[in-house]
Structure 1
Amino acid sequence: MDVGLQVSGGYDAVVAAARWAEAEDFVAFALPDHYVGGLGTDTAATGDAFDGLVQLAGLARDTSRIELSMLVSPITFRHPAVLAKTAVTIDHMSGGRFTLGVGTGWLEREHEIFGFPFPERAVRFDMMEEALAYLQAAFANDAAGFAGRFFELEAISVQPKPLTRRRLVVGGMGSTRTPALAGRYADEYNVYPAGRAELEGRIRLMREAARAAGRDPDAILISSSGQVVTAETRDGYDEKLAARAAELGMDVDELEQHYAVRNTPRGSHDEVREQLRTLGDVGVTRFYLQRPAEFDREAERGLVAAIRSI
């Protein structure tokens, strides 16, 4: 399985992590798109949160080989016109190495803090579907145009066009509409870790949607991502979990529940290896390891080797 790295932090730390990942032959480097730090709780929301798209523009010039990706931009506060222009600009700055990720937005507290509307889930999915169709039209070679309930684009040939072949990532925790939209529009489907049956169901839906849209499902890269909280032993994991909870100002049980809801790979090295192997068995070929920008690089070598062996 190929390994990518996703971090967040200040630019000096981010570019150092990106250059390290490039030197270590990671295939991709990604940033998240959030306006609040931490996990968005009241105690963590005041942490540093930089604009990931601006940082990716810097990385376009400060790296040379590694793929760059946004995982993922919430359509609730990123208009698709701005996303289209920003993505193409970063792609050209990087020589064709940038992929734009789009999601519904999920962190309600983030929207409350900055005054962004946070519609109900079904409406956010409708917005995301329109945004993907809008982006597809903007990136198309012909003057496609788009008219929807939320967004409109005149039938003009928007210039310039992306250089990269892999233009759009669709990711999120949705079990039905997310994989269906990925099949229709995405070049990469970023599926959250889950149980084997649930993963198989989501990937099956993605492939069916791709075929229904006249697309080749085998051409869609299937990736996953997660923090991967692990130590050599279970006791070591418990210690690491407690330390991380203290950093975030959370109870251990609260943080464990946060990881459990997202099926974050966690536990001893042996437990994590088996959890990640399930991803590979169902067709995931790339895993983005999520870390803060400043992390112990040497401590991750064993985990990276384990992921690559799957």
Structure 2
Amino acid sequence: MELRIFTEPQQGATYDDLLAVALEAEKLGFGAFFRSDHYVGMGTEGLPGPTDAWTTLAGLARDTSTIRLGTLMTSATFRHPGVLAIQVAGVDQMSGGRIELGLGAGWFEAEHTAYGIPFPDTRERFDRYEEQLAIVTGLWRTPLGETFTHQGAHYTLTDSPALPKPVQQPGPPVLIGGRGKKRTPALAARYADEFNLPFVDLTETREQFGRVRQACEAIERDPATMTWSNALVLCVGEDEAEISRRAAAIGREPAELRENGLAGTPEEVVEKALAFAEAGAQRLYLQVLDLSDLDHLRLVAERVAPAL
């Protein structure tokens, strides 16, 4: 099982904070550094303020060397799909082919209201999202010298040169996630290289992975071509005092984190991670909320990763 680091900068982080975590994750051998794509903090003022996901990843593309970089999840409401395809392809070039695009429909109305971003109803957001997936992947996969055209209900592209091309071909891996029972599995089966489930238990993991497998089989796609992953909040400590200290730093309780996250001693965390592996997960995104605690990452690298 691969372990990746997942951060939530809208809760309060500068670029330098993110860079320090990314460099430490790279040094320690984690599989990737991911960040959320949000513009308003949740339950916090989020000082000094948000950073843009793709601006940040462009910087990290140049300031790191080997670690993979991506989003969980970029909101389809934030950017026109043609612009997003250009941005991600450009950052993929800047990184030498280390970028992954997690793309979702968008859900957090408050950030849209705060920054003047339209927030359609759920059906329209998913309709736009489906078109975005078709456009972004279609632009990347259009052969050099050919053009791309899309005539949709929400987006129209006519004779696009479909440039620039990303380093990775046919394009950076696309991640789709979520708990929806119908459209989400269908879209994942059609467009995703990886399916991710955020903050759910083992039972829901098995059920939703099963729905996505069925959606793959319905279009004659081998489910083995999909990578399966979970995202879980991280809180590991050598003893109860350290676990409690790390839980308090993120405003949570150890018992709640043990139930809903990946928390406890290294031995407890390994046991739970292996249970997710048995449920089908091949990757875990470790949601690190205290970005100043680099010892947290070191403990996982030394005591958890080798057992997985």
The amino acid of 1:180's aligned partner reads: A
Contact 2:75 2:104 (C-alpha < 8 Å) held by counterparts: yes
- Report the Cα offset of residue 275 of structure 1: 3.3
Match of 1:306 in 2: 304
2:20 pairs, out of 9, 16, 22, with 16
The amino acid of 1:48's aligned partner reads: G
- Report the Cα offset of residue 268 of structure 1: 5.4
- Report the Cα offset of residue 33 of structure 1: 0.8
- More deviation in 10-19 or 289-298? 289-298
Q: Deviations over 1:60-88 (max 9, x none)?
A: 11111111112211111222112101000
Q: Deviations over 1:161-220 (max 9, x none)?
A: 222244311123434432331121011222224233321221122223233344332122
Q: Deviations over 1:85-118 (max 9, x none)?
A: 1000001111111111101112222122112232
Give runs of aligned pairs for residues 117-266 of structure 1, distance below 5 A: 117-142=118-143, 143-165=147-169, 166-232=172-238, 237=243, 240-245=246-251, 263-266=260-263
- Report the Cα offset of residue 20 of structure 1: 1.5
Provide the C-alpha distance between the structure 1 equivalents of 2:122 and 2:306, rounded to a whole number of angstroms. Answer: 36
Match of 2:106 in 1: 105
Provide the C-alpha distance between the structure 2 equivalents of 1:60 and 1:293, rounded to a whole number of angstroms. Answer: 22
TM-score norm. by structure 1 comes to: 0.84
Contact 2:148 2:162 (C-alpha < 8 Å) held by counterparts: no
2:288 pairs, out of 270, 277, 291, with 291
Q: 1:293 to 1:95 in 2, by over 3 A?
A: farther
The amino acid of 1:152's aligned partner reads: T
SS, match of residue 226 in structure 1? strand
Q: Deviations over 1:249-304 (max 9, x none)?
A: xxx68x998x79x9433455555444322321122111122224733222333334
Contact 1:173 1:191 (C-alpha < 8 Å) held by counterparts: yes
Provide the C-alpha distance between the structure 2 equivalents of 1:222 and 1:23, rounded to a whole number of angstroms. Answer: 25
Matched, 1:282 2:286: no
SS, match of residue 132 in structure 1? helix
SS, match of residue 106 in structure 2? coil
Provide the C-alpha distance between the structure 2 equivalents of 1:174 and 1:190, rounded to a whole number of angstroms. Answer: 12
Count of aligned pairs: 298
SS, match of residue 78 in structure 2? coil
Aligned-residue CA RMSD (Å): 2.8
Provide the C-alpha distance between the structure 1 equivalents of 2:193 and 2:277, rounded to a whole number of angstroms. Answer: 19
Matched, 1:85 2:86: yes
Match of 1:248 in 2: none
TM-score norm. by structure 2 comes to: 0.84
Provide the C-alpha distance between the structure 2 equivalents of 1:106 and 1:231, rounded to a whole number of angstroms. Answer: 33
Provide the C-alpha distance between the structure 2 equivalents of 1:235 and 1:88, rounded to a whole number of angstroms. Answer: 45
